[in-house]
Amino acid sequence: MDFDAKIPDGPIEDKWTGHLESIRLVGPRNRPKYKVIVVGSGLSGGASAASLAAMGYNVHCFCFQDSPRRAHSIAAQGGINAAKNYRNDGDSVFRLFMDTQKGGDYRAREANVYRLAECSAGIIDQAVAQGVPFAREYGGMLANRSFGGVLVQRTFYCRGETGQQLLLGANSSLAEQIRNGNVQMHTRSEMMDLVVVDGRARGIVYRDLITGEVRSESADAVVLATGGYCNVYFLSTNAKGCNVTAIWRAYKRGAAMANPNFVQIHPTCIPASGDHQAKLTLMSESLRNDGRIWVPKNQDDQRLPSDIPEDERYYYLEERYPRFGNLVPRDVAARNAKDVCDSGMGVGSTGYGVYLDFRDAIRDQGQKVVNAKYANLFEMYERITADDPRQTPMRIYPAPHYTMGGLWVDYNLMTTIPGLFAVGEANFSDHGANRLGASSLMQCLADGYFVLPATIGNYLSRHPSGEIKSDDQRFKEVENEVRDGLLKLMSIKGKRSASSLHRQLGKLMIDHCGISRNQEGLEQAIGKIPQMKEEFWNNLSVPGSDDQVNQSLEHAGRLSDFYDFAELMCRDALHRDESCGCHFREEHQTAEGEALRNDEKFANVSAWQYRGDNREAELYQEPLEFEAAPLAQRNYKT
Ligand SMILES: Cc1cc2nc3c(=O)[nH]c(=O)nc-3n(C[C@H](O)[C@H](O)[C@H](O)COP(=O)(O)OP(=O)(O)OC[C@H]3O[C@@H](n4cnc5c(N)ncnc54)[C@H](O)[C@@H]3O)c2cc1C
């Protein structure tokens, strides 16, 4: 397996431009001869498909929703980072790079992170050109706010619906390419497997979710833009359809999986209120610009928040991290919320909640100003909880939100399977052990608008186009395997729904591989997952049939992959015997309870390689180098 990250030589600030000038190109007249499959139509997939088609490639784009516009990216709320320095507060490409590296606790590749910061400003220009209605100052200048882990204001936003507006922008470009015949859009189509021929990715097998038919599409390259796998926890802030299937099945065909245990547990979500819930709701991090987080100083204090006097409130982030206050990075905020709740200071019926309070912001800025920034988030909160956050503080608690792990990719975003690329949340590339807020949209669009369109040509130009078709025997073989897998799920005819089995797996994962982990818990989880998997394969019930719309069957297929993936996550977390970013191993903490890295042993990327269903995956460790941003202990206190 080729683990060469292909990082260009030279100083960090010249790597990307030097690479662009030296990589091979496909000429405009040859591009239509190359067919590229893009699986996913969220921000990374939509931007990739639109950009590749605009360059002239023949693109086929797949998604399981009924419209590309309904990809999960539409849920993104708070904003997108870019080093424009519009606020003149000292921002720069280098500072964005440094913040991201430090935020990720030095577990990301420097060269990729620097390129991300470099591309960031162009994304805003592109989005503005598409008509994305970013918030503006009175004079017309684009407005900015702060997100956690930074001391500048570099986050561009469209109130609390930035993802939706950016997706409308990307989709307007995609729609134009569909209309011009350069993109063939396959909605309600789920990729079930990858077809690798002679060591190269040559297409996919997919299921038509309306008719149940299993079909193939061949191509010269395949791009996976299939998002994150947070739903391994069952309860998360992600859309219900988010899953690991596409990247997991690519893994089983030879693509290495990197840092699967790196999962972001977001500090500000509406707490779970019981066992009936199927989903959790995010309250955007942008709220921490003005909202103050606190708990009662007294344990088990049952008074209304308004009855608790100022000197009996514990503004724990402001006290523990005076320099960053409520805007510490997510991993730090989440751990501290758990800590105060574990100490008995939590609020709400379960005791696992903290207050996010807008009283002071409304007093200082006025209701109108605060409303202008957050009204839709306030309304969303009120609709769910029946409490108006303008009158009473929000109650929040951490929940699984984003996955930094994903398919291993080199600097060109190519996986270990030649011709298979991964972009957006589906790859592992830019956020290390913790993603800073507003950095995912930036990565999705950097990958889709700027990086992939340049690097894919470097691969395609080395291969003749189109010499394989989907009626090839090798496609038929994979199709048959997929059909057999579906029949197996249908034929179990047990008693338990995919939802009930999934909830059980999710509970195990959040308890043992969630906000904090330890050796004993991880070993327990690794022992229990195979038993849960056995229960699934013996007692699953899938109603209906496989030749019609069948969401239970879709769920069951995705869950079958989550079992194996969950086990790999736990093995990865067990192997990484250090704390870093979101990966908090209780055995490794500083005297002040912060994550304690072991750079000597773990300043690397864990990349796992599949070796068969009954064998443990093999681990390769890609060493990370720190030239531009030397390793340092993260400090958000002083
Ligand atoms: C509530 C919420 C708020 C957020 N707010 C922000 C924010 O303010 N700023 C920020 O930077 N980030 C934010 N994020 C994170 C960000 O939204 C996501 O990381 C990002 O949108 C992921 O985009 P993507 O293109 O990688 O994948 P997605 O948008 O998840 O798209 C995945 C696509 O893949 C398709 N797909 C998946 N599997 C298959 C398959 N097997 N076959 C066919 N198609 C498949 C889906 O149909 C879909 O089109 C937020 C996340 C959540 C949950």
Our count of domains for the chain comes to 2
Task: Select from 231, 252, 253 the least CA-distant residue to 242.
Answer: 231
Question: Ligand 1 in contact with 438 (CB < 6 A)?
Answer: yes
Range 399-422 burial, b when 16+ CB lie within 10 A, else e: bbbbbbbbbbbbbbbbbbbbbbbb
Q: Dihedral through CA 384, CA 44, CA 467, CA 412, nearest 10?
A: -140
485 and 594 housed in the same domain: yes
pLDDT of 203? 98
CA distance 426 to 405: 8
Task: Select from 602, 593, 239 the least CA-distant residue to 402.
Answer: 239
277 and 394 housed in the same domain: yes
Compute, in angstroms, the gap from residue 476 CA to the centroid of ligand 1: 31
CA distance 234 to 276: 12
Range 452-474 burial, b when 16+ CB lie within 10 A, else e: bbbbbbbbbeeeebeebebebeb
Question: Ligand 1 in contact with 247 (CB < 6 A)?
Answer: no
* DSSP letter assigned to residue 150: -
Tell me which of 64, 155, 229, 565 to substitute to probe ligand 1's pocket, judged by most ligand atoms within 8 Å of the beta carbon. 64
Catalytic site residues? 330
pLDDT of 2? 79
User: Looking at ligand 1, which atom is closest to the CA of residue 441?
Assistant: 11
Residue 557 located in a structural domain = yes
What residues have CB less than 8 Å from 409, skipping those under 6 apart? 415, 421, 422, 427, 428, 429
pLDDT of 277? 87
CA distance 472 to 482: 16
pLDDT of 338? 94
Contact 351, 300 (CB under 8 A): yes
Residue 375 located in a structural domain = yes
In terms of residue numbers, what domain contains 518?
481-599
DSSP sequence for 45-62: HHHHHHHHHHHT-EEEEE
Structure tokens, 336: 């501290």
Amino acid at 20: L
Find the CATH number of the domain harbouring 286.
3.90.700.10
**Nearest CA, atom 31, ligand 1:** 42
Residue 420 located in a structural domain = no
Other residues' Cβ atoms within 10 Å of the Cβ of residue 593: 13
276 and 393 housed in the same domain: yes
Pairing of strands 189-197, 200-208: antiparallel
372 and 486 housed in the same domain: no
pLDDT of 523? 98
Integer angstrom CA distances of residue 52 from 57, 100, 201, 249, 283: 6, 28, 18, 24, 34
Contact 109, 5 (CB under 8 A): yes
Question: Ligand 1 in contact with 77 (CB < 6 A)?
Answer: yes
Sign of CA dihedral 52, 115, 413, 46: negative
CA distance 441 to 123: 10
Compute, in angstroms, the gap from residue 286 CA to the centroid of ligand 1: 19
Question: Ligand 1 in contact with 399 (CB < 6 A)?
Answer: no
595 and 487 housed in the same domain: yes
Instruction: State the distance between the two ends of the chain, measured CA to CA, in whole angstroms.
Output: 44
Question: Ligand 1 in contact with 93 (CB < 6 A)?
Answer: no
Residue 362 located in a structural domain = yes
pLDDT of 263? 97
Residue 306 located in a structural domain = yes
CA distance 393 to 373: 17
Residue 207 located in a structural domain = no
Residues in the chain: 638
pLDDT of 635? 87
3-state percent helix, strand, coil for the chain, nearest multiple of 5: 40, 15, 40
CA distance 352 to 261: 24
CA distance 152 to 159: 19
Mutual angle of helices 498-512 and 551-575, in 10-degree steps = 20
User: Looking at ligand 1, which atom is closest to the CA of residue 81?
Assistant: 11
CA distance 440 to 431: 9
Other residues' Cβ atoms within 10 Å of the Cβ of residue 350: 13
User: Looking at ligand 1, which atom is closest to the CA of residue 43?
Assistant: 25
Integer angstrom CA distances of residue 116 from 82, 96, 444, 596, 625: 9, 9, 10, 27, 17
Compute, in angstroms, the gap from residue 100 CA to the centroid of ligand 1: 20
Domain limit, last residue, from 399, 424, 459: 399
CA distance 543 to 550: 8
Question: Ligand 1 in contact with 282 (CB < 6 A)?
Answer: yes
Domain limit, last residue, from 399, 434, 449: 399
277 and 395 housed in the same domain: yes
DSSP sequence for 288-352: GGT-EEEEESSTT--S-GGGS-GGGEE-HHHHH-TTTGGGS-HHHHHHHHHHHHHTT---STTS-
291 and 393 housed in the same domain: yes
Question: Ligand 1 in contact with 291 (CB < 6 A)?
Answer: no
Compute, in angstroms, the gap from residue 244 CA to the centroid of ligand 1: 12
Let me know the angle formed at the C-alpha of 350 by 342 and 236, rounded to the nearest 5 degrees. Answer: 90
Compute, in angstroms, the gap from residue 602 CA to the centroid of ligand 1: 29
Residue 276 located in a structural domain = yes
Amino acid at 534: E
3-state SS class at 72: helix
Domain limit, last residue, from 384, 399, 414: 399
Contact 212, 547 (CB under 8 A): yes
Residue 327 located in a structural domain = yes
Question: Ligand 1 in contact with 97 (CB < 6 A)?
Answer: no
Contact 576, 569 (CB under 8 A): no
pLDDT of 407? 98
**Nearest CA, atom 8, ligand 1:** 78
Compute, in angstroms, the gap from residue 498 CA to the centroid of ligand 1: 23
3-state SS class at 264: strand
**Nearest CA, atom 4, ligand 1:** 76
CA distance 443 to 448: 8
* Averages of pLDDT over each 10 residues, the chain, 638 residues: 92 97 97 98 98 98 97 95 96 97 97 98 97 94 93 94 97 97 98 97 98 98 98 97 98 98 96 86 91 96 96 97 94 95 95 96 96 91 95 96 98 98 97 96 98 98 91 96 98 98 97 97 98 98 97 98 98 98 96 94 98 94 95 89
Compute, in angstroms, the gap from residue 71 CA to the centroid of ligand 1: 6
Tell me which of 440, 442, 452 to substitute to probe ligand 1's pocket, judged by most ligand atoms within 8 Å of the beta carbon. 440
Find the CATH number of the domain harbouring 586.
1.20.58.100
What residues have CB less than 8 Å from 630, skipping those under 6 apart? none
Question: Ligand 1 in contact with 100 (CB < 6 A)?
Answer: no
